[in-house]
Amino acid sequence: MVRRSPMALKSVRLAIPSALRRLRQRPTLAICSLVLLLVGLCTLWPGLFTRADPYAVNIEKRLRPPSSEHWFGTDDFGRDLFSRVVYGARTSLGASLVVVAVAASVGTLLGALAGFARGSLDDLIMRTTDLMISFPLFIMAMVIVAVLGRNITNAVIAGVIIWWAQYARLVRGNVLSTREQPYIEAARVVGGSPARILLRHVLPNSVAPVIVKASLDIGQVLLVITGLSFIGLGAQPPAAEWGAMVTIGRKFLFDSWWYPTMPGLAIFVTSLSFNLLGDELVMLLDPRLRSAVRNA
């Protein structure tokens, strides 16, 4: 049996009221956290919220308005729109999280190498970064998906390609300032290898802005992923994906307003919540990070 120390239990008891007090002081943080918790549960366990099959066709119930049986109404094939929005979170938000995770990892690694190694490697990475950042993000994503093929996997690949450069530039700037600190010089003096110094000392002290930027970027990436699906370059029918549902539902906007509105609201609320949560995290962690992250 594991015994917990009294100090650990006391720390937990003190941390919980502190967190609750912080949520009361910042209602925006509390609301956004609740919304994203629900969306996260929809992504991981959509069966908790609906037992309807999002792909079950029932033409007799075609374009039914919202009711107690179908909370968000039905689409043009009689499929339950609420279940499709719930299951769509797995595709839309799941793809966005993968893009941010991979882009942040690749960009952090390349930015750390550029800032720590300097020289020709730094020039090569940063010139590539400048080239990637110089193009409009959405247009580049459209071109990449058009070349690779129209599906959600290629949309994720396009998102990673257009997003990693921002993290590389952000991390490089932090590494350049961190590598000149006295404790880095001390690590060199005692014989630390460049790889050890980079991984043990430089990188851990340079990733705080990456965490903040990642929280801000999820909402923006979600708009890109759903935007690609909206113009027919992302998820393809009959996939339950928010952007794809909006582009099909817009044909029925005036007669069946709920069809494009419900997935559109899901995109709006989720993206807004991530952006507001990111701003709140910046203020809670370190307000000085705001300018660094916004300028990346």
pLDDT at 270 over 70: yes
Percentage of the chain with pLDDT > 90? 47
If phi over 0 gives left and psi between -120 and 50 gives alpha, with beta otherwise, what is residue 83?
Answer: alpha
As a residue count, the chain comes to 296
Bridge partner residues of 181 (DSSP):
none
How do residues 188-230 score in pLDDT, each as one tens digit?
667 666 667 777 767 777 777 888 888 889 999 999 999 999 9
Q: Are 63 and 256 in contact (CB under 8 A)?
A: yes
How do residues 144-158 score in pLDDT, each as one tens digit?
999 999 999 999 999
Contacts of 129 by beta carbon, 8 Å cutoff, 6+ apart: 110, 165, 168, 169
Bridge partner residues of 74 (DSSP):
80
How do residues 116-145 score in pLDDT, each as one tens digit?
777 788 889 889 998 888 888 899 999 999
pLDDT at 169 over 70: yes
Burial class (CB in 10 A: 0-12, 13-18, 19+), 50: middle
User: How many other CB atoms sit within 10 Å of the CB of residue 208?
Assistant: 15
Paired tokens of 280: 């709140």
Instruction: Say how far apart CA 276 and CA 212 lie, in whole Å.
Output: 12
How do residues 40-95 score in pLDDT, each as one tens digit?
999 899 888 988 999 999 999 999 999 999 999 999 999 999 999 999 999 999 99
Based on DSSP, count helices (H) and strands (E) in the chain, helices before strands: 12, 0
Residue spans of alpha helices (H) in 3-45 = 6-25, 27-44
Q: Are 282 and 30 in contact (CB under 8 A)?
A: no
The pLDDT-based confidence of 183 (bands split at 50, 70, 90) is low
> Which pLDDT value is given to residue 5?
42
> Which pLDDT value is given to residue 280?
74
